[in-house]
Structure 1
Amino acid sequence: MNEESIKHRKQSSNLGNNDPPAVSKKLKSMNLQKEMGLISGICLIVGTVIGSGIFISPKAVLANVGAIGPSLIIWAACGVVATLGALCFAELGTMITKSGCEYPYLMEAFGPIPAYLFSWSSVIVMKPSSFAIICLSFAEYVSAPFYSGCDPPVVVIKCLAVAAIVVITLVNSLSVKLASYVQNFFTAAKMVIVVIIIVSGIVLLAKGNTDNFNNSFDGPPLSVGGVSLAFYQGLWAYDGWNQLNYITEELKDPYRNLPLSIIIGIPLVTVCYILINVSYFTVMTSTELLQSQAVAVTFGDRVLYPASWVVPVFVVFSTIGAANGTCFTAGRLAYVAGREGHMLKVLSYISVKRLTPAPAIIFYGAVAIIYIIPGDINTLINYFSFAVWLFYGLTVSGLIVMRFTKKEHKRPIRVPLIIPIIVTLIAIILVLAPIITTPEWAYLYCCLFILGGLVFYVLFIHYRFGWAQKISKPITMHLQMLLEVVPPEGEN
């Protein structure tokens, strides 16, 4: 028996207990590895942000504000809000260099209960619903060419979405490098379609096709609720500006690469989004855009014919890249929450062979599939946006609090205090305005679900009732052996 076989036997013998495997210094430690550089960081931000949103949200933004001019202003304002939020998260990410994004920041600023409620809401609702939305968008664009002139059957869309979730979950469970390469490839691919749409729009504008921009502010009166819902849809397209903070522990030189990736990535996305919307409106009137089943496909049919097939193909690439980036980062949140004892402990375990947080990624994919079953894209977006901006506001307010309570912390990046104050106020407006102006039961259900997490916190975490431990322990042990995973080094 050679030396490698002996090492493998030693690793396998540790799968039934809570001790890390016996490994030599030559082997990598049982922790997540630092394998993401600056280029990969920028690709992760751009690739996650530019996904399904820019191909879905223009229609919803326009429907809520009623005219082209206010719609373009909303898109630019959303980019500013995303940039300000990203700057706040850059300070938090370089001050607290732990994966999990909002989770460790809330833990540091406010303690375990707000951090737990965030992990509960994110792992069960926000991140899986985001994954589901992107994969549903992917399925709509994949199936659209096969059902010309009519909507694809719902069952076809949902089956394709489930298949996408399974494949992406598998890729991310197998290898960090493979997931990173996939992300870089699809980011490059999606930039091709972005460039095609933007250049086509500029060429048409240069030829004098500006009729659709005449009287661009003529429309129905704006309402606070309508503007808020338009912001929800626009900010959904920008969501992902904080994705790099989920993988800080896997980022090479985070003090340099985290802020640089944000500073380069978010403004690049903002410029692309504004120019893409201008291109859409150059080709379609407001009424035509609202009636379009797939905005980018309609654009391609009118501008690129007979090469219009290029658009849906690259839109599919774009959505797959966004779904992959979302899965890559969100799995780390479940991993960190499990490591802190706020979720099942097995979610913090790492694959012996792959060095990936496989249990967390698989759990995340399984919950996303559940959301596919009753999923409606616009309802999911509103539900997602309400919850996510509740915690964005709480996290950024934590930055303000820590300026006074954690003065000793090293801050490689220090944003002016006015920026987190502005972001906090914007978050408060975004959360309260729809509830006050257009109240819906979905918002109440969302709040009740978030607060309902306290029941599980009391039973499983605070008091640690014996019967709860008896239930979770055998589940953890069997999953550990099935998935061949072990706790990260340093855990007992």
Structure 2
Amino acid sequence: MDEGDARKRKGGKDGPADQQSVQSKEPKTMNLQKQVGLLSGISLIVGTIIGSGIFISPKSVLANTGAVGPCLIIWAVCGVISTLGALCFAELGTMITKSGGEYPYLMEAFGPIPAFLFSWASVIVIKPSSFAIICLSFAEYASAPFYPGCTPPPVVIKCLAAAAILAITTVNAMSVKLASYVQNFFTAAKMIIIIIIIVSGIVLLAQGNTENFVNSFEGSRITAGGISLALYNGLWAYDGWNQLNYITEELKNPYRNLPLSIVIGIPLIIVCYLLINISYFTVMTATELLQSPAVAVTFGDRVLHPAAWLVPLFVAFSTIGSANGTCFTAGRLTYVAGREGHMLKFLSYISVKRLTPSPAIVFYGIVGMIYIIPADINTLINYFSFAVWIFYGLTIAALVVMRFTKKDMKRPIKVPIVIPIAMVAVSIYLVLAPIIDEPEWAYLYCVLFILGGLVIYFPFVHFKVKWAQKITKPITMFVQLLMEVVPAEEESG
């Protein structure tokens, strides 16, 4: 900050020509820059959504429906739900053009407490633990070729996952453009394996491998609980449809590129997911698919033969690309929460040299590292993932509320009111159905953790007790000197 003051004093002594030269050389302010275009937006949606889900979830969706026909219907329904949810978020994102996803929308509609609880649950648990799971999935696929016939040692998987988190965090902290290029590359790479699987399936169908689609509804188990769990697993594979709302401030022409990225990206994913599942069923019966340890690998072994090694390689590319997209967007949530005073202040600082929210990204990476340590966090993720739909429902409800409380707000995109109302109903169903179907204490623990954020909110955020500020001030100064970061609000002097 002293350097900035010195620059101002120097500018005061310069003549008009020198001042104009300085202004032309330093057009950028200490803020997030609009560097993400339409192609990068589509790549971010596709690259973040298509991760490990499509290679893991088919077994769970099939197990909860019992037959091929209902399984494919569930995948289509999950795509429709994701599209409608994304359209609701598109209205919110063009109405409130702030980064941070659900956070600024909850703040605008319901005030600071729901917004804080969202940031608390997301920053501490939901986002970093999901980041860790994706990187662990990458590590499993990447290490599998080196341990044929057996499971890779847990220490190898954890070290490789930690290395992936470190690399992705470094890339995102260094440059927005570099992170976008990485995202575009891995999106292209994962589309290669998607195309290979889809084309192989189409060829097999053309050759007459359709016996697994005969009587495709035979043996189906249609129950309310089974459908909810199937939707849960399918929607996990689609999760990420709201990712562009986390970086609205960095989108070029967000009024155009945000909805256009959604309209192009998500239908593309729906088609891919349906065709991939159809391809799986061309070579595997429902029973064989359920017994497969890794569906995509089994498909590759049966269809690609000598080139079967391509499957784990490109699945690893797919997961690392999804992890990069998750880091890119979740770091912005941490940044916005810090900017609003709901997290440590230094998390809202911007790198002077790179114009990235590097403290927020590094913090996100460190917390993600911590979630690698437990032996198995998949169960924890399953129980906490239902919290995501609590906040999805609240956020879309905020859209409905603001239709009445903020009628004069500019809405470049305005979806029919029936869509957000239907999405709120879907969210309520998805939150309550697993609890009713199979009640467990873990769901209560999850709710208590979310509400436990109030213990942090009132003394540290609402009342801002002085002793807390004395503790955080030297930490903020240390981070500012170490990482060369400044508050975003100081961009104009």
TM-score under structure 1 normalisation? Answer: 0.94
- Tell me the distance in 1 between the aligned counterparts of 2:273 and 2:251: 27
Identify if the C-alpha distance between structure 1 residues 233 and 142 changes in structure 2 by more than 3 Å, giving closer, same or farther. same
Letter in 2 for 1:257: N
Counterpart secondary structure, 1:130 = helix
- Tell me the distance in 1 between the aligned counterparts of 2:317 and 2:221: 38
- Tell me the distance in 1 between the aligned counterparts of 2:360 and 2:54: 28
Mapped contact 1:332–1:357 kept (Cα < 8 A): yes
Aligned to 1:431: 431
Equivalent residue in structure 1 for 2:3, among 10, 25, 35? 10
Identity rate, percent: 77
Alignment of 1:485 onto 2:485: yes
Mapped contact 1:129–1:384 kept (Cα < 8 A): no
Letter in 2 for 1:389: W
Aligned to 1:112: 112
Identify if the C-alpha distance between structure 1 residues 13 and 311 changes in structure 2 by more than 3 Å, giving closer, same or farther. farther
- Tell me the distance in 2 between the aligned counterparts of 1:81 and 1:89: 12
- Tell me the distance in 2 between the aligned counterparts of 1:200 and 1:434: 36
Mapped contact 2:384–2:446 kept (Cα < 8 A): no
- When structure 1 is superposed on structure 2, of 280-289 and 182-191 the one drifting more is 280-289
Cα deviation, residue 220, structure 1: 5.5
Cα deviation, residue 466, structure 1: 1.3
Cα deviation, residue 133, structure 1: 1.6
- Write out per-residue CA displacement over residues 227-280 of structure 1, whole angstroms, 9 at most, x where no aligned residue: 212211111110111000100000000000000000000100011001101111
Counterpart secondary structure, 2:305 = coil
Letter in 2 for 1:398: A
- Tell me the distance in 2 between the aligned counterparts of 1:65 and 1:133: 25
Aligned to 2:11: none
Cα deviation, residue 96, structure 1: 0.4
- Tell me the distance in 2 between the aligned counterparts of 1:12 and 1:387: 45
Counterpart secondary structure, 2:488 = coil
Identify if the C-alpha distance between structure 1 residues 148 and 458 changes in structure 2 by more than 3 Å, giving closer, same or farther. same
Aligned to 1:309: 309
Aligned to 1:369: 369
- Tell me the distance in 2 between the aligned counterparts of 1:250 and 1:155: 38
Mapped contact 1:201–1:280 kept (Cα < 8 A): yes
- Tell me the distance in 2 between the aligned counterparts of 1:206 and 1:475: 64
Alignment of 1:193 onto 2:193: yes
Mapped contact 1:233–1:381 kept (Cα < 8 A): no
Within 5 Å, which residues of 2 pair with 1:203-352? 203-219=203-219, 221-352=221-352
Counterpart secondary structure, 2:306 = coil
- The number of residue pairs the alignment matches comes to 478
- Write out per-residue CA displacement over residues 94-124 of structure 1, whole angstroms, 9 at most, x where no aligned residue: 0000000100000011011000101111101
Cα deviation, residue 402, structure 1: 0.3
- Write out per-residue CA displacement over residues 362-418 of structure 1, whole angstroms, 9 at most, x where no aligned residue: 111111111122263642442242011000000000000000000000000000000
- Tell me the distance in 1 between the aligned counterparts of 2:344 and 2:317: 34
- When structure 1 is superposed on structure 2, of 457-466 and 216-225 the one drifting more is 216-225
Mapped contact 1:335–1:347 kept (Cα < 8 A): yes
TM-score under structure 2 normalisation? Answer: 0.94
- Tell me the distance in 2 between the aligned counterparts of 1:227 and 1:50: 22
Aligned to 2:353: 353
Structure 2: which 5+ residue stretches go unaligned?
Answer: 8-18
Cα deviation, residue 225, structure 1: 2.2
Counterpart secondary structure, 1:31 = coil
- Write out per-residue CA displacement over residues 308-327 of structure 1, whole angstroms, 9 at most, x where no aligned residue: 11111111111111100000
Mapped contact 1:233–1:382 kept (Cα < 8 A): no
Identify if the C-alpha distance between structure 1 residues 352 and 397 changes in structure 2 by more than 3 Å, giving closer, same or farther. same
- When structure 1 is superposed on structure 2, of 316-325 and 146-155 the one drifting more is 146-155
- Tell me the distance in 1 between the aligned counterparts of 2:95 and 2:300: 45
- Tell me the distance in 2 between the aligned counterparts of 1:220 and 1:397: 34
Identify if the C-alpha distance between structure 1 residues 380 and 279 changes in structure 2 by more than 3 Å, giving closer, same or farther. farther
Aligned to 1:412: 412
Letter in 2 for 1:315: V
- Tell me the distance in 2 between the aligned counterparts of 1:305 and 1:409: 58
Aligned to 1:144: 144
Identify if the C-alpha distance between structure 1 residues 12 and 103 changes in structure 2 by more than 3 Å, giving closer, same or farther. same
Aligned to 1:18: none
Cα deviation, residue 13, structure 1: 7.9
Identify if the C-alpha distance between structure 1 residues 365 and 13 changes in structure 2 by more than 3 Å, giving closer, same or farther. farther
Letter in 1 for 2:58: P
Mapped contact 2:64–2:221 kept (Cα < 8 A): no
- When structure 1 is superposed on structure 2, of 175-184 and 211-220 the one drifting more is 211-220
Cα deviation, residue 12, structure 1: 10
Letter in 1 for 2:184: N
- Tell me the distance in 1 between the aligned counterparts of 2:227 and 2:155: 33
Aligned to 1:175: 175
Cα deviation, residue 223, structure 1: 2.8
Q: CA RMSD in A?
A: 1.9
- Tell me the distance in 1 between the aligned counterparts of 2:311 and 2:136: 17
Within 5 Å, which residues of 2 pair with 1:153-164? 153-164=153-164
